Chains A and B, each alone.
Chain A
Amino acid sequence: MIQAVKVSLEVLNDRLDPYDHLEEILDKINRWEPKVNAYAYVENMGKLKEDLGRQLKRKGRLSGVIVAVKDNISTSWMPTTAASRMLSGYIPPYNATVIEKLLYEGAVIIGKTNMDEFAMGSTSENTPYGPVHNPWCLDCTAGGSSGGSGAVLAYGGADLALGSDTGGSVRLPAAYTGTVALKPTYGTVSRYGLIPYANSLEQISPMARTVKDLALLYNTIKGDDPRDSTTLGVEQEYPIDRVDPGKTRIAVIRELMDGVDEGILKIFWNTISLLESHGFTIDMVSIKSLRYSLPAYYVIAMAEASSNLARYDGVIHGNRVKECRGYWDCAAKARGEYFGVEVKTRILMGAYVLMEGYSREYYVKATKLRRLIRDSLAKLFKDYQAIISPVSPILPPKLGEKLEDPVKMYTMDVMTVTANLAGIPALVQPAGIISGFPIGIQWMGPVFSESRLFGLASIVEDEVGVITPLQ
Chain B
Amino acid sequence: MARKVTIGLEIHVQITGAKTKLFCNCPVDYRDKPPNTNVCPVCMGFPGALPVVNRKAIELAVTASKSLNCEIPEWLIFTRKHYFYPDLPKNYQITQYKTVAGAPVCLGGRLDYIDPKDWSIHSVGLDRINIEEDPGKAVYEKGGIIGSRVVLVDYNRSGVGLLEIVTRPELHDARQARIAVENLLLTLWYLGITDPRLPGAFRVDANISVEGGGGRVELKNIGSLIEVERGLRYEILRQTKIVDAGGKIARETRHWDTVKGVSKATRSKEEETDYMYFPDPDLPPLRVTRSMLVKAEAALEFTPLKLWSDMNRYGIDKGLAWSIIRELDLAKTFRTALSIYRNPHLIAWMLGNVVKGLRDKKGLEYVPPAVDIAYLAELLDRNIVHREMVKFVILPKAMETKESVKRIMEYEGKLPRGDALEKAVEKVLIEESKAVNDLLRGRKQAFNYLIGRVMRKLDGKGDPREIAEILRRKLNGLI
A: residues with CB less than 8 A from B are 73-74, 82, 87, 92-94, 96, 191-196, 198-200, 226-230, 303-304, 306-307, 310-311, 313, 315-317, 326-328, 331, 351, 354-356, 359-360, 363-364
- Asked if B153 is at the interface of the complex by the 8 Å CB criterion, the answer is yes
Report yes or no: B151 in contact with A327, Cβ–Cβ below 8 A.
Answer: yes
- Asked if B212 is at the interface of the complex by the 8 Å CB criterion, the answer is no
B85 to chain A: closest residue by CB: A327
Q: Which of B45, B46, B148 contacts A93 (CB 8 A)?
A: B46
- Asked if B169 is at the interface of the complex by the 8 Å CB criterion, the answer is no
- Asked if B48 is at the interface of the complex by the 8 Å CB criterion, the answer is yes
Q: Known interface pairs A230-B282, A315-B153. Does A196 touch B47 (Cβ–Cβ under 8 Å)?
A: yes
Q: Which of B50, B82, B85, B151 contacts A228 (CB 8 A)?
A: B50
Report yes or no: B50 in contact with A191, Cβ–Cβ below 8 A.
Answer: yes
Q: Closest approach, in angstroms, between the C-beta of A341 and any C-beta of chain B? A: 21
Q: Closest approach, in angstroms, between the C-beta of A67 and any C-beta of chain B? A: 18
Per-position contact with A for B264-289: 1 when CB-CB < 8 Å, else 0? 00000000001011100111100000
- Asked if B53 is at the interface of the complex by the 8 Å CB criterion, the answer is yes
Per-position contact with A for B90-104: 1 when CB-CB < 8 Å, else 0? 111000000010000
Closest 8 CB pairs of A and B: A200-B281, A310-B91, A354-B276, A199-B281, A193-B48, A195-B47, A311-B90, A74-B48
CB neighbours of B198 from chain A (8 A): none
Report yes or no: A229 in contact with B44, Cβ–Cβ below 8 A.
Answer: no
A193 to chain B: closest residue by CB: B48
Report yes or no: B281 in contact with A304, Cβ–Cβ below 8 A.
Answer: yes
CB neighbours of A364 from chain B (8 A): 100
CB neighbours of B80 from chain A (8 A): 307
B: residues with CB less than 8 A from A are 41, 44-53, 80, 82, 84-86, 89-92, 100, 145-146, 148, 151, 153, 155, 274, 276-278, 281-284
CB neighbours of A198 from chain B (8 A): 281
Q: Closest approach, in angstroms, between the C-beta of A210 and any C-beta of chain B? A: 29
Q: Known interface pairs A229-B283, A328-B84. Does A363 touch B278 (Cβ–Cβ under 8 Å)?
A: yes
Report yes or no: B48 in contact with A192, Cβ–Cβ below 8 A.
Answer: yes
Q: Which of B46, B53, B155, B282 contacts A92 (CB 8 A)?
A: B46
A372 vs B86: C-alpha distance when bound (angstroms): 40
CB neighbours of A199 from chain B (8 A): 281-282
Q: Closest approach, in angstroms, between the C-beta of B274 and any C-beta of chain A? A: 5
A198 vs B280: C-alpha distance when bound (angstroms): 11
16 further A-B contacts with Cβ under 8 Å, apart from A87-B47, A196-B47, are A73-B48, A74-B48, A93-B41, A96-B48, A195-B48, A196-B48, A307-B82, A311-B89, A311-B91, A313-B84, A316-B89, A327-B145, A354-B82, A359-B100, A359-B277, A359-B278
Q: Closest approach, in angstroms, between the C-beta of A104 and any C-beta of chain B? A: 19
CB neighbours of A195 from chain B (8 A): 47-48
A198 to chain B: closest residue by CB: B281
Q: Known interface pairs A311-B45, A317-B46, A327-B86. Does A226 touch B52 (Cβ–Cβ under 8 Å)?
A: yes
Question: Can you sample 27 A-B contacts with CB below 8 Å?
Answer: A73-B48, A74-B48, A87-B47, A93-B41, A94-B46, A192-B48, A192-B50, A194-B48, A196-B47, A196-B48, A196-B282, A228-B50, A228-B282, A229-B50, A229-B53, A229-B282, A313-B86, A315-B86, A316-B45, A326-B145, A328-B84, A331-B84, A354-B278, A355-B274, A359-B276, A359-B278, A363-B278
